[in-house]
Amino acid sequence: MSEQKVRNMEEFAALVGVSRPTVSKYFNDPSSVREKTRKRIEVALEQHDYRPNIYAINQNRRQTKTIGLVVPNLTDPFFAAIARIIEGMILEAGFNPLLLSSHAGPDQEISNLDSLRAIKPAGVLLAPLGRASKVDAIAEFAEQIPTTLFDANLDGVGEAFFGSDNDQSVALIVEYLCRSGEPPSFFELEDPVNPNAIKRRNAYKAAMERVGREPLFVRVEGSGWDFEEIGFSRGRELISRKQLPTSTVLCSNDRLAIGLLAAAFDQGISVGIGEDCSMRIAGHDDHPFARYTCPSLTTISQDYVAIGQHSVDTILGIIERGERLDQRIVSLFEGRLVMRGSA
Amino acid sequence: MSEQKVRNMEEFAALVGVSRPTVSKYFNDPSSVREKTRKRIEVALEQHDYRPNIYAINQNRRQTKTIGLVVPNLTDPFFAAIARIIEGMILEAGFNPLLLSSHAGPDQEISNLDSLRAIKPAGVLLAPLGRASKVDAIAEFAEQIPTTLFDANLDGVGEAFFGSDNDQSVALIVEYLCRSGEPPSFFELEDPVNPNAIKRRNAYKAAMERVGREPLFVRVEGSGWDFEEIGFSRGRELISRKQLPTSTVLCSNDRLAIGLLAAAFDQGISVGIGEDCSMRIAGHDDHPFARYTCPSLTTISQDYVAIGQHSVDTILGIIERGERLDQRIVSLFEGRLVMRGSA
DNA sequence: AATAAAACTTACCGCGCGTAAAATTATTGC
DNA sequence: GCAATAATTTTACGCGCGGTAAGTTTTATT
């Protein structure tokens, strides 16, 4: 590696022995220059480790090579896992992912979009907070920058939405629970912020009615994203006061279920499908930790590889074609029943 | 909000009625322009929502207002939590955090540093992978851009290291376990990648010897960051074959402990401090989920607020002064014993 | 070898801002 | 009220690259 420092593309081009525009072409698309030239540039590149100034590049380009990825809460391992998968897909497509977390706050969500606006990304994949989101501001953002939603839908916002088919997945687990024992009650927040929660509530009701059972809701107070804590503290109260209507409980998501499992343990209730168990608990999402709860959690696994891939492909398509979709796409993917020890 | 779109600072300055450089000064430091001018700019700002082009800004600045934050694995809720805290501190200091995850891979770690190099951050906070890290490349990076390490130390790399005092924290929990029952054996990976793991191993040995007990190591095979899985599968084997040397087990970290707890449950072993329990399990780190394991996990809580704050303050100091530290700082913070149900 | 096509060079402009130095304006002391 | 000084603003220049058009050289084709 040469000691000489290359200050800009002009200097680097001189070292290579070609003109600056040729070097510029190379960096935009190495295959757009002649084989021989490419080799020469690449040799020089190794000797001087020059890299174009990213700010100067993006100042003039209409579009950057960045794709924004905004998730509601990175502290939630579920979203951390999805984010990681999608990051990989973006990289594979030759773009740079920029991951931002809204930290469960609508203001932070808007602030993230503002940051992205400043960066002029080619596109954005957004998993919105849901009902807490400032929809108008997000819609305005999506007008400016190609945006697709995933996980949670906001009606009419963005080019597309990819998520889970809660009707299908909840029906799946409700039917399983009914088939294998007592029909479940539904454990959820009284006033959920997440649209999925509302869809699951309705899906549960419909599924129960379909099998001729009366839907029973256990609605607990609690706000925010501290689901484990809510599941634990409210669950403990309910169990100790024997206020649970059934001994089989389907939770609106895995994190609530993890809290409820802890509450049951705390109250000396053994959970599971064995003869000696007095309670069954199921969740939804296949949280990364669902495998290691005690007992391991029966749940629904979302197809987030499909969700991620469709989100990425859609945004890439829009970027390539340079024009928006004629019609907003909404596509839902089926969940898979993951049978474990808890139900 | 006016409909007229402001294209650049020139136009915006014209609208305000001052020169462009004055506006530029305002954005760099609002207090650097006269009160009257500031007010006028701010009024115009509300009417036209202009924002300077971030690429044009950074093209000419020697230093950007970005601080890089690299963690080994965002999928690990422990790091997700730390990252979030540090992000907040960076924001509070008036800088923009850029969070990157190394996804447990040395190549990704280097790739993250390369990305950061392109962005010319004012400073970087790096939690390295540890022994798997490509130390030379990281050291070279730290020469170019002010960098402090946290969580895991790499000898001599970066301006400073802030981490936990494993000697103190492990002694604390070893002494507690010895005081309250059978002395613990130490459950760990045979060949750990994390420097903390090695320090904890040694700290355990020293602490046991100090109380006049023989250190007993349970070393299991397994690589990577899939600690729960390793703890679970290896733990299950050990328990079923009755190969654990003691019924009190101190795990090298909480994630291993979570796996081991699941293994114990799987094998019908009741864990906890009650009369009817036949095993005690403790961890280290106070993982966000440690509160909701069954039973809840007795562990050591790292003072990552202090770790984060010192990391941020140190890098800010270097940035402000514009020069590196005379001497590398190494500062360790004490852990706190968190007594819960498992031990 | 003639021709066409591809690749490259030259020359120029524009992007949106930072920054040092010069010019202006405001403040202070007397 | 006036000069001296300090604070603020303006002038003037540069940053490192993208993009384009016209001209030149190289390569591929026949």
Nearest CA in chain B to A230: B292
B244 and B319 inside one domain: no
Nearest CA in chain A to B66: A115
Mark yes or no for CB contact B84/A75 under 8 Å: yes
pLDDT at residue A28, as a whole number: 84
Q: What is the rounded CA–CA span in Å between residue B45 and residue B180?
A: 64
For B194-220, how does the pLDDT look when each residue is reduced to its tens digit (9 = 90+)?
A: 899 999 999 999 999 999 999 999 999
Question: Is B329 a member of any domain?
Answer: yes
Question: Is B93 a member of any domain?
Answer: yes
B199 and B278 inside one domain: yes
Per CB-CB distance under 8 Å, the chain B contacts of A62 are none
Using a CB–CB cut-off of 8 Å, the residues of B that contact A are 51, 53-59, 74-75, 77, 80-81, 83-84, 96, 99, 101, 103, 115, 117-120, 228-229, 232, 258-259, 261-262, 265, 288-289, 291-296
Q: What is the rounded CA–CA span in Å between residue A181 and residue A246?
A: 11
Question: From the CB of residue B266, how many other CB atoms can be counted at a distance below 10 Å?
Answer: 18
Strand C bases contacted by the protein (CB, 7 Å)? 7-11, 14-20
Question: Is B61 a member of any domain?
Answer: no
Is B213's CB less than 7 Å from nucleic acid strand C? no
How would residue B1 be classed by pLDDT, with cut points 50, 70 and 90?
very low
The shortest CB-CB distance from B295 to any of A117, A119, A265 is to A265
A292 and A172 inside one domain: yes
Q: How far is CA B54 from CA A114, A139, A277, B45, B138, in A?
A: 12, 23, 60, 17, 27
Does residue A305 register a pLDDT over 70?
Answer: yes
pLDDT at residue A30, as a whole number: 85
Between A199 and A274, whose confidence is greater?
Answer: A199
Residue indicated by tokens 């007095």: A278
How would residue A4 be classed by pLDDT, with cut points 50, 70 and 90?
low
Strand D bases contacted by the protein (CB, 7 Å)? 7-12, 14-21, 27
Q: Return all residues near A203 (Cβ < 8 A) that are at least 6 apart.
A: A166, A167, A169, A170, A171
A283 and A225 inside one domain: yes
Dihedrals φ, ψ of A9, to 5°? -65, -35
Q: What is the rounded CA–CA span in Å between residue B130 and residue B117?
A: 21
pLDDT at residue B4, as a whole number: 61
The shortest CB-CB distance from A295 to any of B83, B96, B265 is to B265
Residue indicated by tokens 């022994």: B131
The average pLDDT across B69-86 equals: 95
Question: Is B342 a member of any domain?
Answer: no
B294 and B310 inside one domain: no
Q: What is the rounded CA–CA span in Å between residue B48 and residue A5?
A: 42
Is A60's CB less than 7 Å from nucleic acid strand C? yes
Q: Return the number of CB contacts < 8 Å for A and B.
A: 98
Q: In angstroms, what separates the C-alpha of A67 from chain B's closest C-alpha?
A: 14
Mutate which of B49, B140, B279, B292 to disrupt the A interface (most A C-beta within 10 Å)? B292
Q: What is the rounded CA–CA span in Å between residue B91 and residue A130?
A: 25
A178 and A267 inside one domain: yes
Q: With 0-12 CB in 10 A as exposed, 13-18 as middle and 19+ as buried, what is B242?
A: exposed
End-to-end CA gap in chain B: 61
A96 and A178 inside one domain: no
The shortest CB-CB distance from A55 to any of B55, B228, B295 is to B55
Per CB-CB distance under 8 Å, the chain B contacts of A104 are none
Pairing status of strand A336-338 against strand A299-301:
antiparallel
Nearest CA in chain A to B103: A84
Between A195 and B29, whose confidence is greater?
Answer: A195
Mark yes or no for CB contact A118/B54 under 8 Å: yes
Question: Is B130 a member of any domain?
Answer: yes
pLDDT at residue A1, as a whole number: 47
Q: List the CATH number of the domain containing B90.
A: 3.40.50.2300
B245 and B312 inside one domain: no
Question: Is B1 a member of any domain?
Answer: no
Residue-range definition of the domain harbouring residue A198: 166-301
Question: From the CB of residue B21, how many other CB atoms can be counted at a distance below 10 Å?
Answer: 10
The average pLDDT across B2-12 equals: 74
pLDDT at residue B233, as a whole number: 96
Using a CB–CB cut-off of 8 Å, the residues of A that contact B are 51, 53-59, 74-75, 77, 80-81, 83-84, 96, 99, 101, 103, 115, 117-120, 228-229, 232, 258-259, 261-262, 265, 288-289, 291-296
The average pLDDT across B37-48 equals: 85
Nearest residue to D27, CA vs C1'? A34
Question: Is B57 a member of any domain?
Answer: no
Does residue B131 register a pLDDT over 70?
Answer: yes
A173 and A271 inside one domain: yes
Write down the pTM of the prediction. Answer: 0.91
Number of residues that this document lists for chain A: 343
Dihedrals φ, ψ of B125, to 5°? -105, 120
pLDDT at residue B186, as a whole number: 98
Per CB-CB distance under 8 Å, the chain B contacts of A268 are none
Q: What is the rounded CA–CA span in Å between residue B233 and residue B240?
A: 11
Q: In angstroms, what separates the C-alpha of A58 from chain B's closest C-alpha?
A: 6
pLDDT at residue B185, as a whole number: 97
How many structural domains is chain B composed of? Answer: 3
Mark yes or no for CB contact A288/B261 under 8 Å: no
User: In B 47-76, which Cβ lie closer than 7 Å to strand C?
Assistant: 51-53, 56-57, 59-62
Pairing status of strand A96-101 against strand A123-126:
unpaired
Tell which residue, B282, B286, B289, has the closest CA to residue B302.
B286
A225 and A285 inside one domain: yes
Nearest CA in chain B to A259: B292
Tell which residue, B98, B78, B189, has the closest CA to residue B145.
B98
Q: Which amino acid is at A327?
A: Q
End-to-end CA gap in chain A: 62
Question: Is B340 a member of any domain?
Answer: no
| CB under 7 Å from strand D | A 7-10, 21, 24, 27-28, 34, 36, 52-53, 56-57, 59-62; B 18-22, 25, 32-34, 36-37, 59-60
Q: Give A137 CA → D1 C1' in Å.
A: 57
Q: Give B231 CA → D21 C1' in Å.
A: 67
For A179-202, how does the pLDDT look when each residue is reduced to its tens digit (9 = 90+)?
A: 999 999 999 999 988 899 999 999
Token pair of B149, please? 């390490």
B242 and B296 inside one domain: yes
For A60-119, how does the pLDDT look when each residue is reduced to its tens digit (9 = 90+)?
A: 776 788 999 999 999 999 999 999 999 999 999 888 999 999 999 999 999 999 889 888
B90 and B23 inside one domain: no
Nearest CA in chain A to B260: A292
Per CB-CB distance under 8 Å, the chain A contacts of B59 are 53, 55-56, 59
Q: Give A16 CA → D27 C1' in Å.
A: 21
